[in-house]
Copies of this chain bind each other. A is one copy, B any other.
Amino acid sequence: MTKKRTIYTIADELNLAPGTISKVINKTGNVSDLTRERVLAYIKEVGYVPASSARMLKSKRTYTVGIVFTEESDVGLEHSFFSSILQHFKTYVEKEGYELSFIVKKLGKHELSYYEWCINKRVDGVYLVVGNYTDQGLYELVKSGIPCVSTDMLLPGMHTVISDNDQGIRITLEYIKNHLKKQRVSMISGPISSKAFNERLVAYQNYVSKLSLTSDLNSVVFAESFGFTSGYNAVKKLLSQMNEKPEVILVASDDIALGALKGLRDMDLNVPEDIQVIGFDDIAFAKHFTPSLTTIAQDRKLLGETAAKLLIQLMENPDQEVDEVVKLPVELIIRDSTKV
């Protein structure tokens, strides 16, 4: 049973003063090389780490980043895409010595806004993994001056790391036209409460016209939600409202696209022979499904790590200017749901 150590007990055991121990830990003030070595060695030997609560109380830094992971639509950590980004973010910031603390509006009997929780916990920064941008509480946070970074969500004044949705749609439509030699395309969008879905839709409308593809832009179907089932329903709705079926369907996310794939199968349409499908995200199952899904891959590791890097910079060098939005390239992964 390791006994509880404080800088006092350490100082005692080493015949030094508590303050000295603190100095070597924080590399502050002047300490002779000899004592520094001695302290460092002893600390390592007995496995001492400064009690975080005391350190947090005294200094302004808590080495904690608040995580806002919207609880609406009850997905939370189960959402494969965002939990993956969060995992990569977590790994990166932990390497840099920061830990995570979930910011929830309600904890026990206490109910506060995001901002109030953040000052209460004295977090050094906040990472908005995924949130609803109609939530007023977020604006309060962003304007508060606490360093904030988000993924997937553009908010005025907020630093954001996001995949280049425009580029993804562009290269995909170019691929459809120049490589697959197809002309008639349709889109299934996700709920536009998500900024990313909105961007993809706008890009689609833009490049369909620029590339002179054939698409009834009014026929875009909006999946009612984020999941498999909504894709299943959406594709049925899409085909029922068109007189001539499209050659290629572009779907705003893989979850939805896989549902669409199943919907097509149930309508006795073969993919890719009768109709082709392209998704967005490259979730794990996109590769495993039958047929495997051609999709625009977002680099989740890069998204999480870039967000981490950006936030740490904001926290540690607050005065240094950085770009407000960082766009990350995406890549079209060709699989079996498309063919020439």
Contacts and interface: CB of A to CB of B under 8 A. Distances in A.
A78 B80 contact: yes
Given A84-B77, A94-B104, A104-B94, A2 B54 contact: no
A2 B116 CA distance: 8
Nearest to A266: B290
Interface string A91-116: 10011111111101011111011011
A28 B91 CA distance: 41
A185 to B, nearest CB: 25
A76 interface: yes
A144 interface: yes
Nearest to A103: B99
Contacts of A119: 2, 4
A258 interface: yes
A62 interface: yes
Interface in A50-108: 50-54, 56-57, 62-63, 76-78, 80, 83-84, 86-87, 90-91, 94-102, 104, 106-108
Given A54-B57, A109-B97, A120-B51, A258 B288 contact: yes
For the complex formed by this chain, how many copies does it contain in all? 2
A122 B1 CA distance: 15
A259 interface: yes
B99 A99 contact: no
Contacts of A54: 53, 57
A99 B102 contact: yes
A29 interface: no
A156 interface: no
A80 B78 CA distance: 6
Given A77-B84, A80-B80, A116-B2, A122 B285 contact: no
Contact of A115 (B2, B121, B145): B2
Nearest to A100: B102
A199 to B, nearest CB: 25
A253 B84 CA distance: 21
A23 interface: no
A291 to B, nearest CB: 10
A54 B285 CA distance: 46
B97 A107 contact: yes
B262 A110 contact: no
A50 B102 CA distance: 17
Contact of A78 (B84, B110, B288): B84
A127 interface: no
Interface in A14-53: 47, 49-53
Interface string A193-225: 000000000000000000000000000000000
Given A94-B107, A108-B95, A121 B52 contact: yes
Nearest to A54: B57
25 contacts: A47-B112, A49-B110, A49-B117, A52-B53, A52-B121, A53-B53, A53-B54, A53-B121, A54-B57, A76-B90, A77-B83, A77-B84, A78-B83, A90-B102, A94-B102, A94-B106, A94-B107, A97-B107, A97-B110, A99-B107, A100-B101, A262-B288, A262-B290, A265-B290, A290-B290
Q: What are the 5 closest A-B residue pairs judged by CB atoms, nearest first?
A: A97-B108, A53-B56, A77-B87, A53-B57, A77-B83
